Amino acid sequence: AASKISQKAHKPAITLDGVNILVLANIASRADADRAIVNGADGVGLYRTELAYLGMNAPPSENELLEEMQHTLAPFEGKPVNIRLLDIGADKPLPFTGFLAESNPALGRRGIRLLLEYPELLDTQLRAILRLSKESDTRILIPMATLAEDITATRERLSVLSRQLGSGKIPPLGIMIETPAAALSLQEFASHCDFASFGTNDLTQYTFAADRENAAVDSYFRDSQRAIFRLMEIARSDAPDLPLSLCGELAGRSRHTEEILRCGLRSLSVAPPLVPIIKDRIRNLNYAKPNTTHRFPRDH
């Protein structure tokens, strides 16, 4: 059975009732990208870009970033790739941002909060992505978007830099939904962004007030509990036309695939080896519950 599953990995994942679900991969390196392609990923749902920064004495230059992204993403030529802006926090200090002493780093300056405080970090990354997007199907993901200003400020920089570069087309801008506030604000956010992806690892940490790295509170970290699905359902109904995806670890657990899709998602992003397993699960379920009228969200 396992070999049958992997034989079909390169085919699209279509539900019994005919809905094509994108199964994308989470990657952080070229090795991940190679593994994802071998496993039949339809694209990259989450490219974690932190590796290019960690352990460096100076931030990578625009050209270095561009080269790094081109190299990492080369196997995905022609396929959609979602590049997440640098998601770093005070618990992982970068030498060049100085040490930001915070007693509660998970609730402090991380993700887009830090980038807006260090505009040159944000601009360098956006410029490299804008240049990359001339030759590939690139989308941008904002980590830890919590306020509308997190999105509008990023979009503003994106359009300024795009004009400077004369790059013409601006890649779609999406947000990671990683805080309960974001999940409950899509009515407002939907007019500022083009798509959103649930980061259930952080969404669970912040919903259950349970540190995702602390084994002592592991039993409180319940990413498949009703509370998380409720947040996703509310987000869905508040923004019925916004394409929604899920890239937290929950997306890779096949016993929850049906319940996840019922929240109105059309794409999932998982660790490379799980792509064939999730595709197989999707082929064996119905997207719409029989005997219910289900609103099909807009395709990606």
Q: Can residue 223 be called a binding residue for Mg ion (CB under 5 A)?
A: no
Q: Can residue 48 be called a binding residue for ligand PEP (CB under 6 A)?
A: yes
The catalytically annotated residue of 145, 244, 247, 278 is 247
Secondary structure of 173-198 in HEC code, one letter for each residue = EEEEECCHHHHCCHHHHCCCCCEEEE
Residue 196 — φ and ψ, nearest 5°?
A: -150, 150
CA distances from 255 to 10, 79, 194, 285, 295 (A): 22, 27, 29, 11, 23
User: Is there a binding annotation on residue 226?
Assistant: no
Q: Can residue 247 be called a binding residue for ligand PEP (CB under 6 A)?
A: yes
Q: Determine the size of the site formed for ligand PEP (CB under 6 A).
A: 10
Q: Can residue 199 be called a binding residue for ligand PEP (CB under 6 A)?
A: yes
Q: Can residue 199 be called a binding residue for Mg ion (CB under 5 A)?
A: yes
DSSP conformation class of 217: G
User: Is there a binding annotation on residue 127?
Assistant: no
> For helices 62-73 and 30-38, what crossing angle results, to 10°?
20
CA distances from 282 to 28, 246, 279 (A): 25, 14, 5
Chain centroid to CA 167: how far?
24
Min dist CB 202 to Mg ion, Å, is 4
Q: Can residue 202 be called a binding residue for Mg ion (CB under 5 A)?
A: yes
| 193 catalytically annotated | no
Question: Of 40 and 143, which CB lies nearer to Mg ion in the complex structure?
Answer: 143
Question: Of 21 and 86, which CB lies nearer to ligand PEP in the complex structure?
Answer: 86
User: Is there a binding annotation on residue 87?
Assistant: no
Other Cβ atoms closer than 10 A to 156 = 11
Min dist CB 84 to Mg ion, Å, is 9
- Active site residue ranges: 247
The residues that touch ligand PEP, with contacts defined as CB under 6 A, are 46, 48, 87, 178, 199-202, 247-248
